[in-house]
């Protein structure tokens, strides 16, 4: 059974033949946070049948976008090239994030993508350092180096500042509904390390541009 194809000699169509099916780009998003197991993936892809997840993983391993080592899945360098597309699509969708409905899932790891579309290079010219977000049980890092950004969904670098909050607090801060100063005074936000880098981060990451 051959995969369904658009049969077009077009770069966009070729990409969509590969990753355009339902769930596939969300699966890539999950792996942009770092290597994951089947079970981990299921959490961020709630509603996706296990058979479908299994099939997709096989297809993407076959296509050379994912590699499997023992029971750990991760993106290959080629697979990681999808990051640019994922971030572009997410940037388009950012204005659509209004209220969060009760039935909607949210995971702190998704900030690995959110940080990237919220990043303003022109405001980060002289920003340097590693910012670590500890939200609920998760850890997301942003590494700033001379106007460029790298992100990770796990503790990969030594942090210069650690920001700790629960998910609800973090979402309110991101939405601009809660003032960082107030949050800290209320004890809902804890800072360890460089306050200067923290203030820089508030300037550098901004959804409204």
Partner DNA sequence: CGGAATCCTCTTCGATACTG
Partner DNA sequence: CAGTATCGAAGAGGATTCCG
Does 15 bind a second copy (CB under 8 A)? Our answer is: yes
x/- mask, a second copy, residues 81-120, rule CB under 8 A, reads xx-xxxxxxxxxxx-xx--xx-xxxxx--x--xx--x---
Q: Shortest distance, CB of residue 51 to DNA, whole angstroms?
A: 4
Q: How far is CA 37 from the centre of its chain?
A: 17
What are the tokens at 79? 């697979």
Q: Shortest distance, CB of residue 183 to a second copy, whole angstroms?
A: 20
x/- mask, a second copy, residues 65-84, rule CB under 8 A, reads ----------------xx-x
SS3 of residue 20 by DSSP: coil
Parallel/antiparallel/unpaired status of strands 128-135 and 148-152: unpaired
Stretch that binds a second copy, among 14-22, 53-61, 130-138, 183-191 (CB under 8 A): 14-22
8-state DSSP, 113 = H
Considering CB distances under 5 to 8 angstroms, the limit depending on partner class, which of DNA, a second copy, none binds residue 54?
DNA
Considering CB distances under 5 to 8 angstroms, the limit depending on partner class, which of a second copy, DNA, none binds residue 12?
a second copy
Spatial separation of the C-alpha atoms in residues 89 and 111, rounded to whole Å: 14
What are the tokens at 161? 């500042």
Q: Shortest distance, CB of residue 72 to DNA, whole angstroms?
A: 8
42 burial level (CB within 10 Å; 0-12, 13-18, 19+): middle
Q: Shortest distance, CB of residue 58 to a second copy, whole angstroms?
A: 19
Closer to DNA by Cβ: residue 24 or 201: 24
Does 8 bind a second copy (CB under 8 A)? Our answer is: yes
Q: What residues does 69 pair with on adjacent strands? A: 72
Considering CB distances under 5 to 8 angstroms, the limit depending on partner class, which of DNA, a second copy, none binds residue 39?
DNA
Give the length of the chain: 209
Determine how many CB atoms are found less than 10 A away from the CB of residue 143. 18
> Phi and psi (nearest 5°) for 46?
-55, 130
Q: What residues does 150 pair with on adjacent strands? A: 143
What is the maximal distance between C-alpha atoms in the chain? 61
Closer to DNA by Cβ: residue 58 or 195: 58
> Which positions lie near a second copy, rule CB under 8 A?
6-16, 18, 20-22, 25-26, 29, 46-47, 81-82, 84-94, 96-97, 100-101, 103-107, 110, 113-114, 117
């Amino acid at each position: 059974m051959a995969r369904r194809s658009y049969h077009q000699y077009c770069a966009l169509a070729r990409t969509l033949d590969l990753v355009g099916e339902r769930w596939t780009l969300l699966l890539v998003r999950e792996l942009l946070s770092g290597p994951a197991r089947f079970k981990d993936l299921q959490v961020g892809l709630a509603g996706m049948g296990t058979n479908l997840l299994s099939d997709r993983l096989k297809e993407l391993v076959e296509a050379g976008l994912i590699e499997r080592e023992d029971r750990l899945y991760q993106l290959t360098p080629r697979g990681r090239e999808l990051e640019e597309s994922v971030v572009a699509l997410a940037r388009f969708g950012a204005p659509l994030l209004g209220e969060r409905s009760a039935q909607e899932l949210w995971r702190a790891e998704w900030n690995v993508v959110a940080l990237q579309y919220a990043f303003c290079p022109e405001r980060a010219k002289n920003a340097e350092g590693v910012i670590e977000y500890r939200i609920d049980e998760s850890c997301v890092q942003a590494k700033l180096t001379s106007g460029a950004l790298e992100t990770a969904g796990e503790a990969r670098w030594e942090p210069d500042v650690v920001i700790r909050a629960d998910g609800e607090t973090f979402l309110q801060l991101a939405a601009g509904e809660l003032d960082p100063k107030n949050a800290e005074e209320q004890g809902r936000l804890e800072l360890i390390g460089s306050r200067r880098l923290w203030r820089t981060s508030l300037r550098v990451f901004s959804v409204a541009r």
